[in-house]
Amino acid sequence: MKKQKSNLFSLVFGLCLVFLISFGLEANFRASVVTVDITPKSAKMLLGYGARKSTGVRDRIYHRIVLLDDGFTQFLLVSSELCVVSPATYDLVAAELDQKLGINPLNFWWTLTHTHSAPELGTPGLPAVFMGDRYQHPVDFDYLEEVKQKLIDGIIEARRLLRPVKIGFGMGESKANINRRERKPNGKIALGFYPEGPVDSQIGLIRLDNMDGSPLALIANYPIHGTFFGQDNLFISGDVPGLISTYVQEKLKTPVLFINGAAGNLAPNTRLAGEKAVLKDSSMNIFKKVLGDKMIDVYKSIDRLTNSMRMGTGALNIETLRKKNIRWIPELKAYEKKNSAGEDLVVLPARFLKFNQELAIWSLPGELFCEISNEIRKDSPFKHTFFYGYTNGWLGYIPTAAEYALGGYEVETVSPFTPMVEADVLKAVSHYLKNDLINAPFPTVLVKKP
């Protein structure tokens, strides 16, 4: 009789455990945030324009790290105030995090704010193929090691600081960006302003609060090139994304991760400071009003926060034709292959993250034109859909087929893709969101505590 009772108890206990795990009631949502200064102590080669060396620091640059943990998935999001990195550099860092900290690369997203006033980091990757004259100097491996070690130390600290939190989402709009593919009278495309062109005005926010209601962190997504300061600037700066992170942080008293979006054809709308405004620090402050204050308004409007949240991640390799006569480099071997016809393909890795069935985020290692992101968002089955650009490396610009026909810098100089890339990305990502991501069950194996 005692044995039967024992067996019955074990059965009931087991069924209860399965129920708790299946419905996400076993563990509450936790998070932490860490900010790490990565401003170099000496002059560095800057990335984003022609080869040039820094002569000073206008404002300091940072890793901003958020660790999210629903008890079953631990997800690491890093926003660094840098321009671009090679996918090979991301792979190097991801492999080390996996080896040393047991972090699955699938759950490690490293996004860059895309400021054009920050140091180069690691080997140049494809930019050296497109613009080799900019990379005739040695690679600064010492700075890479410093940035990588600070990232690892910051993640260790983030794990130590994990605590129960509430999470909520919100969306708004800002007119801080403008299409930059200016149409010249001679029919040529140049980098400038095209007010009639398509834009993506969406602000996408993830708000994290401590259980007592005090703010923990804000993850802010908006597409805008970090090009307020031009080629002549020799001072290290976070540019507009850095300005907004600092401004919103000061107003809300909480760290802000600025995550860039589909900014491939979107510039900061400096016309807001006046048609003939001289671009100087004071005119940059207009972005505090047209973008920073808009983010604050959205943040304050998020009134539905929960501690019961589940996360799911996914990955998809999009294979698309490579331009003929584009030289590939050995360090990016993992990002190329041939199709059955012997044609060269680029392997474009997309990553996915969902929160319950409410928010989907997808990312690419490149500079996506906003029309593609807009179309995918419109077709998404999720209530909210965000796109994170400049994530886990850089494989060039990803334009629309219509813009390929017009030419210009983004399609002629810094893209390895053919006009087919738009259709390939739209088809693959939309299908994944509608089928794989939304239907994927949430993990049921508890995270091992580090």
CA distances 297 to 42, 205, 301, Å, are 39, 11, 6
Q: Is residue 254 part of a domain?
A: no
Higher per-residue pLDDT: 21 or 187: 187
User: Is residue 354 classed exposed, middle or buried when 0-12, 13-18 and 19+ CB atoms within 10 A define those classes?
Assistant: buried
Q: Is residue 64 part of a domain?
A: no
- φ, ψ of residue 353 to 5 degrees: the values are -145, 135
**Domains of the chain: total:** 1
Give residue 105's pLDDT band: very low, low, confident or very high (50, 70, 90).
Answer: very high
Structure tokens at 269: 């709308």
The average confidence (pLDDT) of the chain is: 92
Tens-place pLDDT, residues 183-225: 999 889 999 999 999 999 999 999 999 999 999 999 999 999 9
Give residue 351's pLDDT band: very low, low, confident or very high (50, 70, 90).
Answer: very high
Mean pLDDT of all residues in 39-46: 97
Contact (Cβ atoms closer than 8 angstroms) between residue 409 and residue 302: no
Contact (Cβ atoms closer than 8 angstroms) between residue 352 and residue 314: yes
Q: Is the pLDDT of residue 10 over 70?
A: no
Mean pLDDT of all residues in 289-300: 98
pLDDT of residue 24: 41
CA distances 177 to 28, 267, 442, Å, are 38, 5, 36
Q: List the one residue out of 369, 391, 51, 376 whose CA is nearest residue 219.
A: 391
User: Is residue 276 classed exposed, middle or buried when 0-12, 13-18 and 19+ CB atoms within 10 A define those classes?
Assistant: exposed
pLDDT of residue 27: 52
Alpha-carbon torsion, ordered 102, 106, 108, 110, to 10 deg: 140
Q: Is the pLDDT of residue 26 over 60?
A: no
Higher per-residue pLDDT: 2 or 377: 377
Mean pLDDT of all residues in 383-400: 98
pLDDT of residue 273: 72
SS (H, E, C) the chain: CHHHHHHHHHHHHHHHHHHHHHCCCCCCCEEEEEEEECCCCCCCEEECCCCEECCEECCCCEEEEEEEECCCCEEEEEEECCCCCCHHHHHHHHHHHHHHHCCCHHHEEEEECCECCEECCCCCCHHHHHCHHHCCCCCCHHHHHHHHHHHHHHHHHHHHHCEEEEEEEEEEECCCEEECEEECCCCCEEECCCCCCCCCCEEEEEEEEECCCCEEEEEEEECCCECCCCCCCCEECCHHHHHHHHHHHHHHCCCEEEEECCCCCEEECHHHHCCCCCCCHHHHCHHHHHHHHHHHHHHHHCCCCECCCCEEEEEEEEEEEECCCCCCCHHHHHHEEECCCCCEEEEEEEEEEEECCCEEEEECCCEECHHHHHHHHHHCCCCEEEEECCECCCCCEECCHHHHHHCCHHHHCCCCECCCHHHHHHHHHHHHHHHHHHHCCCCCCCCCCC
Q: CB count, 10 Å around CB of 1?
A: 5
pLDDT of residue 276: 47
Q: What amino acid occupies position 18?
A: V
Structure tokens at 330: 């050995």
pLDDT of residue 275: 52
Give residue 93's pLDDT band: very low, low, confident or very high (50, 70, 90).
Answer: very high
pLDDT of residue 272: 87
Structure tokens at 414: 């810094």
Give residue 22's pLDDT band: very low, low, confident or very high (50, 70, 90).
Answer: very low
Mean pLDDT of all residues in 8-27: 43
Q: Is residue 359 part of a domain?
A: yes
Q: Is residue 213 part of a domain?
A: no
Mean pLDDT of all residues in 217-235: 96
Q: CB count, 10 Å around CB of 446?
A: 11
Q: Is residue 375 part of a domain?
A: yes
Q: Is residue 263 part of a domain?
A: no
Q: Is residue 349 part of a domain?
A: yes
Structure tokens at 286: 């207009």
pLDDT of residue 23: 43
Tens-place pLDDT, residues 122-167: 999 999 999 999 999 999 999 999 999 999 999 999 999 999 999 9
**The whole model's pTM is what?**
0.92
Mean pLDDT of all residues in 15-24: 42
What is the rounded CA–CA span in Å between residue 237 and residue 40?
11
Give residue 88's pLDDT band: very low, low, confident or very high (50, 70, 90).
Answer: very high
Question: Residues 259, 37, 448, CA angle at the centre, nearest 5°?
Answer: 70
Contact (Cβ atoms closer than 8 angstroms) between residue 150 and residue 96: no
Mean pLDDT of all residues in 86-114: 97
Mean pLDDT of all residues in 348-358: 98
The rounded Cα 100 to chain-centroid distance in angstroms is 23
Tens-place pLDDT, residues 250-284: 999 999 999 999 999 999 999 887 654 445 566 88
Q: Is the pLDDT of residue 19 over 50?
A: no
Residue 335, domain extent: 311-439
pLDDT of residue 446: 83
Q: Is the pLDDT of residue 20 over 60?
A: no
Q: Is residue 380 part of a domain?
A: yes
Tens-place pLDDT, residues 410-444: 999 999 999 999 999 999 999 999 999 999 999 99
The rounded Cα 22 to chain-centroid distance in angstroms is 30
Q: What amino acid occupies position 116?
A: H
